[in-house]
């Protein structure tokens, strides 16, 4: 394996300032090249979107819109800011929540306050997001629920079903009939809803690029072969397809698998991240479902225990290998989230080199889309999320306060050029 930029940094540590600066640039170039070291692949497309389309994650739009509309505002300033800036960056779309089951947000933005009981004012928030996205010509990828506790999550559905000792990521969400019935009920209701602002049914709305069955479903507590998760994928995807037959469906998963089959075993087996391939859920198996239209994965190497010196190449492997598996199944691949911490990790220059490389890798491989986590409006403090980036009012894209916006503009311009 090549050393990337890390050897250069150590060698340069004893040289003069001018040589140190030169070596630093060289090390960043090496880091970027390693992150971009992916094989060529034929371009894949998410519907009408160009190959390697840029999307941004902005999960909070429904919540912002619901609160503003409930207060009698004529529009939601944050929604307008984010959509306008996404369009200015050249992003093809945004990935944002299509759910809100949070007990703590009832009367503010919660959509489903009890099983089958919906808050119309909160639903109008999601109506508004769809309507304004169409106005700005920005498409949406919408997860329908969350594995984690944020905004309700799997725990909330297990509690609603009356099962004891519900917990975050509860595996009974995927197997217990009463829980599955409640989730299907919500999906059927939502996708059959007619938008109160534009009169268009959700299952036919032109702003929708795709639906995701769940944000980051994991197989913890399920069978080792991934059969239970695949059965859940088939059943829930069938409900989405019934209500939105012309729209695309993805799983929303992180890309974990049940074995090294189809992946570079020699690369992955030598590090802690090998556990990603013993996950009781299979990217290969889930993506093979005839009811799934695109492969889904995320990438957070710091959270997953990837050693620092292997971060660049791990991203290249993750993108290229998942894209190849999806392509074999005749489907595009969507890297729905990726990110490196803003603090206590790589420097900004190192993160920029890695992001630039992974964006180039995605373009070379021909992924359907790639979506960094996460785009923040100006009013959100920097500490709100450890992966935030901005396009702050009155700044140029390359201003360091924005972190990566110039890189994303470059990537958006490159999309579809192969």
CA 18 distance to own-chain centroid: 40
- 267-322 per-position pLDDT tens digit: 999 899 999 999 999 999 999 999 999 999 999 999 999 999 999 999 999 999 99
Closest of 315, 304, 259 to residue 285, by C-alpha = 259
In a shared domain, residues 25 and 72: no
Domain tally for the chain?
A: 2
Please say if 216 is a catalytic residue: yes
User: Across the chain, what does the average pLDDT equal?
Assistant: 94
**Segment 199-226 mean pLDDT:** 98
304, 309, 313, 319 alpha-carbon torsion, rounded to 10°: 20
Task: Look up the pTM and report it.
Answer: 0.93
Beta bridge partners of 338: 299
Question: Residue 26: which pLDDT band, with cuts at 50, 70 and 90?
Answer: confident
Buried (b) or exposed (e) across 210-221, using 16+ Cβ within 10 A?
bbbbbbbbbbee
CA 135 distance to own-chain centroid: 23
Read off φ and ψ for residue 112, nearest 5 degrees: -105, 105
- 229-279 per-position pLDDT tens digit: 999 999 999 999 999 999 999 999 999 999 999 999 999 998 999 999 999
Question: Residue 15: which pLDDT band, with cuts at 50, 70 and 90?
Answer: very low
Domain with 18, as residue range(s), is 1-35
In a shared domain, residues 310 and 270: yes
In a shared domain, residues 188 and 332: yes
DSSP designation for 382 = G
Q: What is the pLDDT of residue 24?
A: 67
**pLDDT of 395 higher than 70:** yes
Q: What is the pLDDT of residue 274?
A: 94
In a shared domain, residues 160 and 306: yes
What is d(CA 213, CA 361) in angstroms, rounded to the nearest whole number? 27
In a shared domain, residues 103 and 6: no
- Joined together, the tokens standing for residue 178 give 């009463």
In a shared domain, residues 94 and 147: yes
* Kind of pairing between the strands at 249-250 and 53-57: unpaired
Q: What is the pLDDT of residue 53?
A: 98
Neighbours of 20 (CB within 10 A): 14
In a shared domain, residues 19 and 50: no
Cβ neighbors of 408 (< 8 A, separation 6 or more) are 54, 56, 89, 90, 91, 359, 372
**pLDDT of 1 higher than 50:** no
> In this structure, are residues 56 and 91 in contact, taking their beta carbons and an 8 Å threshold?
yes
> In this structure, are residues 324 and 318 in contact, taking their beta carbons and an 8 Å threshold?
no
Catalytic residue (choose from 33, 63, 212, 216): 216
Catalytic residue (choose from 212, 253, 254, 337): 337
């Amino acid at each position: 394996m090549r050393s990337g930029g890390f050897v250069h940094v150590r060698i340069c540590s004893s040289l003069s300032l001018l040589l140190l600066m030169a070596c630093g640039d060289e090390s960043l170039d090496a880091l970027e090249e390693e992150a971009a070291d992916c094989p060529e692949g034929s371009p894949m497309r998410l519907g009408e979107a160009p190959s390697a389309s840029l999307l941004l994650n902005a999960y909070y739009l429904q919540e912002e819109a619901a609160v503003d509309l409930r207060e009698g505002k004529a529009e939601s300033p944050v929604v307008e800011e984010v959509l306008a800036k996404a369009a200015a960056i050249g992003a093809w779309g945004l990935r944002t929540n299509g759910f809100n089951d949070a007990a703590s947000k009832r009367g503010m933005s919660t959509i489903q306050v009890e099983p089958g009981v919906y808050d119309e004012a909160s639903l109008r928030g999601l109506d508004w997001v769809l309507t304004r996205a169409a106005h700005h010509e920005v498409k949406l990828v919408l997860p329908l629920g969350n594995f984690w506790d944020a905004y309700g999550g799997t725990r909330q559905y297990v509690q609603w079903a009356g099962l004891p000792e519900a917990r975050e990521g509860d595996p009974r969400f995927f197997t217990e009939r009463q829980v599955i019935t409640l989730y299907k009920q919500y999906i059927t209701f939502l996708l059959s809803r007619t938008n109160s602002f534009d009169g268009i049914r959700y299952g036919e709305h032109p702003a929708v690029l795709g639906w995701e069955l769940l944000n980051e479903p994991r197989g913890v507590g399920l069978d080792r072969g991934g059969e239970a998760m695949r059965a859940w994928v088939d059943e829930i995807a069938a409900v989405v397809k019934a209500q939105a037959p012309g729209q695309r469906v993805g799983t929303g998963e992180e890309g974990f698998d049940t074995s090294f089959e189809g992946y570079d075993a020699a690369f992955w087996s030598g590090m802690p991240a090998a556990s990603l391939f013993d996950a009781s859920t299979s990217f290969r198996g889930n993506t093979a479902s005839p009811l799934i239209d695109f492969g889904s994965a995320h990438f957070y190497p710091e959270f997953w225990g990837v050693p620092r010196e292997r971060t660049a190449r791990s991203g290249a492997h993750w993108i290229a290998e998942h894209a190849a598996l999806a392509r074999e199944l005749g489907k595009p691949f969507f890297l729905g989230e990726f990110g490196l911490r803003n603090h206590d990790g790589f420097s900004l220059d190192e993160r920029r080199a890695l992001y630039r490389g992974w964006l180039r890798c995605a373009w070379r491989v021909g992924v359907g889309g790639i979506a960094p986590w996460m785009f923040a409006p100006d009013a959100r403090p920097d500490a709100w999320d450890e992966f935030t980036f901005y396009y702050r009012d009155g700044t140029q894209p390359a201003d360091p306060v924005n972190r990566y916006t110039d890189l994303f503009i470059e990537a958006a311009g490159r999309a579809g050029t192969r």
